[in-house]
């Protein structure tokens, strides 16, 4: 690829560069950094790169707005620390391997260094070959916790965040509350829903969803995993919750992705969702593995119940019906 450097140097008006299936050399990257009108960059990093010869200054990539980076975790750590995209507003990072427990903090730290909290509004992190990596995840000891995500809370301007790095996830109720409070401008959030995201024990539905209804007033799309089994709901006092801090929910969520969420007692779940998300129209559940208790059939029932419970909510009749359902065990 170094042979195309003179060619790139002459493309002074180039706005988009995509080279996703051939690893990029340091010489090509240095040439791209000097293109004054480049707004979109999609690249694959090589397994190893001679970082000592890479010469990218902070004032380069002056017009870059969007990036897509495909890399191994260790390579990205070095790249993120070396190449800064201070003007980028939307970034996607595709990892090709499962990060080790030691690499995970470094990967997040490199994201925080590479991008500017005052500019970045959209971040998507997922895996290039999720089905293959899922088979390898059982051999990995990597566990992602709230402390790993907290450095990203500095990016207060996030309106879109999707994070599905291959890992085991140990996120409790306190973690989801902290996440919701950190990003009040969020419009679309999807966390740990990929095929290679394994959950140690997802918190119950109320603990996961209520924080987003309370603290993310602009949120319209939400994707999270939670426990929606009836036993969990009854243990926490049922689902009759139509007020948040003494007021009806005004959440704008219209789409909820509940991939992999265990469920039973579909009427409870539908009623709860209708109360918490009054504008909810769409449930995404088709990706749930067949033959499990959270397979699409039960979530399809919830989807069918939603219009009915939405009408009852508008008429002010939903809470009473929930109390009856709790008594008779519907």
Task: Please enumerate in sequence order all residues whose Cβ is within 8 A of that of 98, keeping only pairs 6 or more positions apart, or say none.
Answer: 73, 133, 136, 137, 140, 142, 166, 167, 196
Residue 28 lies in a domain: yes
74-83, 172-181, 288-297 — which one is most confidently predicted on average? 172-181
Spatial contact of 54 and 82, defined as CB atoms under 8 Å apart: yes
Domain boundary among 174, 201, 228: 201
Q: What is residue 325's predicted lDDT score, i.e. its pLDDT?
A: 44
- 22 and 142 share one domain: yes
* Confidence grade of residue 129 (pLDDT, cut at 50, 70, 90): confident
Buried b (16+ CB within 10 A) or exposed e, 146-184: bebbeebbebebbebbbbbbbbbbebbeebbbbbbebbe
Mean pLDDT, the chain, integer: 86
Residue 124 has pLDDT above 90, yes or no: yes
Q: 108 and 30 in one domain? A: yes
User: Same structural domain for residues 233 and 300?
Assistant: yes
Statement to judge: residues 185 and 90 lie in one domain? yes
Helix (H) or strand (E) holding 33: helix 26-33
State the Cα–Cα distance between residues 234 and 168, nearest whole angstrom: 28
Answer whether residue 20 shows pLDDT above 90: no
pLDDT value for 234: 56
Q: Which two tokens stand for residue 271?
A: 């009623």
Domain match, 165 and 19 both:
yes
Q: Which of the listed residues 169, 201, 233 is the one where a domain comes to its end?
A: 201
Distances (CA, A) of 47 to 22, 72, 194: 11, 7, 24
Residue 239 and residue 196 share a domain: no
Three-state DSSP class for residue 283: strand
End-to-end CA distance of the chain: 65
In this structure, is residue 294 part of a structural domain? yes
Distance CA 212, CA 192 (A): 16
CA distance 68 to 43: 6
Distances (CA, A) of 254 to 95, 274, 284: 30, 11, 11
CA 209 to chain centre: 15
| H-helix or E-strand spanning residue 276 | helix 266-276
The model's confidence at residue 26, banded by pLDDT at 50, 70 and 90, is confident
* Counted domains in the chain: 2
62 pLDDT above the threshold of 70: yes
Question: Are residue 158 and residue 221 in the same domain, yes or no?
Answer: no
Torsion, Cα of 258, 259, 260, 264 (10° steps): 40
Residue 257 lies in a domain: yes
Q: What is the spatial distance between Cα 190 and Cα 293, in angstroms, rounded to a whole number?
A: 22
Structure tokens at 233: 């709901």
Query: 3 is in which domain, residue-wise?
Result: 1-201
């Amino acid at each position: 690829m170094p042979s195309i450097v003179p060619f790139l140097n002459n493309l002074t008006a180039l706005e988009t560069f995509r080279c996703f299936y051939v690893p990029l050399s340091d010489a090509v990257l240095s040439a791209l950094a000097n293109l004054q009108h480049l707004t979109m960059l999609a690249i694959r990093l090589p397994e190893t790169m001679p970082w000592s010869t890479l010469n990218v200054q902070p004032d380069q990539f002056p017009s870059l707005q969007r990036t897509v980076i495909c890399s191994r975790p260790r390579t990205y750590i070095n790249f993120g620390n070396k190449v800064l995209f201070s003007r980028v507003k939307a970034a996607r990072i595709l990892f090709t391997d499962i990060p080790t427990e030691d690499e995970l903090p470094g990967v997040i730290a490199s994201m925080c260094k590479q991008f500017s909290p005052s500019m970045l509004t959209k971040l998507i992190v997922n895996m290039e070959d999720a089905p293959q990596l899922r088979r390898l995840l059982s051999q990995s000891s990597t566990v992602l916790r709230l402390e790993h995500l907290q450095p990203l809370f500095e990016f207060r301007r996030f309106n879109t965040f999707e994070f599905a790095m291959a890992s085991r996830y140990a996120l409790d109720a306190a973690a989801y509350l902290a996440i919701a409070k950190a990003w009040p401008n969020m419009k679309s959030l999807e966390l740990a829903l990929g095929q290679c995201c394994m959950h140690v024990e997802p918190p119950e539905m109320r603990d996961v969803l209520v924080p987003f209804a309370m603290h993310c007033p602009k949120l319209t799309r939400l994707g999270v995993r939670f426990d929606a089994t009836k036993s969990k709901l009854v243990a926490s006092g049922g689902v009759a919750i139509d007020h948040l801090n003494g007021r009806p929910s005004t959440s704008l969520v219209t789409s909820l992705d509940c991939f992999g969420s265990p469920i039973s007692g579909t009427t409870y779940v539908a009623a709860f969702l209708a109360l918490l998300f009054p504008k909810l129209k769409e449930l995404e559940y088709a990706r749930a593995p067949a033959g499990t208790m959270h397979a699409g059939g039960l979530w399809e029932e919830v989807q069918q119940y939603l219009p009915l419970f939405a009408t009852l909510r508008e008429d002010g009749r939903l809470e009473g019906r929930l109390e009856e359902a709790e008594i008779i065990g519907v």
